[in-house]
């Protein structure tokens, strides 16, 4: 079945009197999901850094690009499949790491439910270090779908090694090292509400279940000891000198997340990194940095086919997925939309969001005459800003 056939399921359901229970428009999805979340999570999930200009730019940057329709190239079946690190995937979509997804379902097991969405859709989950359930429990719920583990590298090297070794032993397929969050960004919404979930002891299950962290806190620690121990080790300001050590921690593929400059991408590949993850953390970390999509082509050119390039930041629609692929991304990760789907409708809500993205991307490729991902090149896009000027 083609991804686009999801719309047939919805239309046929309507004929029997069942209308879709979840929104399709992102603005409606966001508004409804935020209304369903407790107040302390609304600012954390929806907010960005500074004026939130970077966050807005991430979304609006996709409007700059137009996919040029090509006719008389209709194909009843499209091929959206890719291969990443030896694993075959039916679409180029990934679920980006979101550190508070565990808190976004009423039962506080959102990480496991995100994994269940992954299992149901075949879209890999990138599980965050900041989970509400231990990483071992989360990866089990992904079933046969590949999963990656995202590392916020702690200052304590033994703890970092322990987290990575646990992820490898549990069956994760790659390690994503986030570079741009060794210190929290300036987030006025969170500052105004005094909201920082981890300082309230939330989403720390990977730490409290870790033997090295347990040695750091001592036996039967009280909640404040856990929080202050975590705060004291979170956030290692990594440099290029740390790459050999990070590489030594695992035989799994390593991707560096937060790469936006071509020189950084080129050097990372030269020094043995297996993949580049172009992202500005969805605009949550540093304002004034422009849209991540604007940096993607330069990063892709610098990598020059030597490694996969994953992209996230501002992805809201299937059209966004198509455009990011055409600009050179190997795979495209979505963050807030699937979190909103989970918050609003649990696993079915998350599945609906993922299937909608896949369906729209598939149908755009079909209607516009691009039957495979390899047909989506930069020549398929027109820069409307440049054209208008």
Instruction: Write out the catalytic residue numbers.
Output: 281
Q: In whole angstroms, give the CA distance from residue 62 to residue 253.
A: 29
119 token code pair: 């299992």
Phi, psi of 324 (to 5 degrees): -65, -40
- Mapping DSSP onto H, E and C, the string for the chain reads CCHHHHHHHHHHHHHCCCCCCCCCCHHHHHHHHHHHCCHHHHHHHHCCCCCCHHHHHHHHHHHHEEECCCCCCCCCCCECCEEECCEEECCCEEECCCCCHHHCCCCCCHHHHHHHHHHHHCCCEEECCCCCCCHHHHHHCCCCCCEEEEECCCCCHHHHHHHHHHHHHHCCCEEEEECCCCCCCCCHHHHHHCCCHHHHCCCCHHHHCCHHHHHHHCCCCCHHHHHHHHHHHCCCCCCHHHHHHHHHCCCCCEEEECCCCHHHHHHHHHCCCCEEEECCHHHCCCCCCCCHHHHHHHHHHHHCCCCCEEECCCCCCHHHHHHHHHCCCCEEEECHHHHHHHHHHHHHHHHHHHHHHHHHHHHHHHHHCCCEHHHCCHHHEEEHHHHHC
Q: Is 64 exposed, middle or buried (0-12, 13-18, 19+ CB in 10 A)?
A: middle
């Amino acid at each position: 079945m083609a991804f686009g056939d999801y719309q047939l399921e919805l239309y046929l359901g309507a004929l029997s009197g069942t209308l879709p229970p979840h929104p399709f428009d992102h603005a409606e999805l966001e508004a409804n999901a935020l209304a369903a979340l407790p107040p302390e999570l609304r600012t954390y999930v929806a907010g960005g850094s500074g004026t939130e200009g970077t966050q807005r730019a991430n979304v609006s940057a996709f409007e700059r690009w137009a996919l040029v329709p090509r006719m008389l190239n209709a194909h009843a079946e499209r091929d959206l499949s890719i291969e990443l690190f030896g694993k075959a995937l039916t679409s180029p979509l990934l679920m980006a790491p979101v550190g508070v997804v565990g808190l976004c379902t009423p039962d506080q097991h959102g990480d496991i439910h995100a994994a269940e969405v992954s299992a149901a859709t075949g879209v890999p989950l990138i599980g965050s270090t900041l989970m509400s359930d231990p990483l071992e429990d989360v990866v089990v719920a992904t079933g046969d779908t590949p999963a990656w583990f995202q590392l916020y590298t702690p200052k304590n090297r033994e703890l970092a090694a322990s987290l990575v070794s646990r992820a490898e032993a549990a069956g994760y397929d790659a390690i994503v090292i986030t570079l741009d969050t060794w210190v929290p960004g300036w987030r006025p919404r969170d500052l105004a509400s005094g909201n920082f979930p981890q300082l309230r002891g939330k989403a720390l299950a990977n730490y409290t279940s870790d033997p090295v962290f347990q040695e750091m806190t001592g036996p039967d620690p009280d909640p404040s000891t856990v929080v202050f121990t975590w705060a004291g080790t979170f956030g290692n300001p990594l440099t290029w000198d740390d790459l050999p050590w990070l590489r030594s921690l695992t035989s799994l593929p390593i991707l560096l997340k937060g790469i936006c400059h071509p020189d950084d991408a080129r050097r990372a590949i030269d020094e043995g990194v297996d993949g580049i993850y172009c992202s500005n953390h969805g605009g949550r970390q540093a304002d004034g940095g422009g849209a991540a999509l604007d940096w993607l082509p330069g990063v892709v050119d610098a990598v020059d086919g030597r490694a996969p390039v994953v992209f996230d930041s501002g992805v809201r629609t299937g059209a966004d997925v198509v455009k990011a692929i055409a600009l050179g991304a190997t795979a495209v990760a979505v963050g807030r939309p699937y979190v909103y789907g989970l918050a609003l409708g649990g696993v079915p809500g998350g599945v609906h969001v993922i299937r909608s993205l896949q369906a729209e991307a598939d149908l755009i490729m079909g209607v516009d005459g691009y039957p495979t991902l390899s047909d989506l090149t930069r020549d398929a896009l027109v820069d409307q800003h440049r054209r208008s000027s």
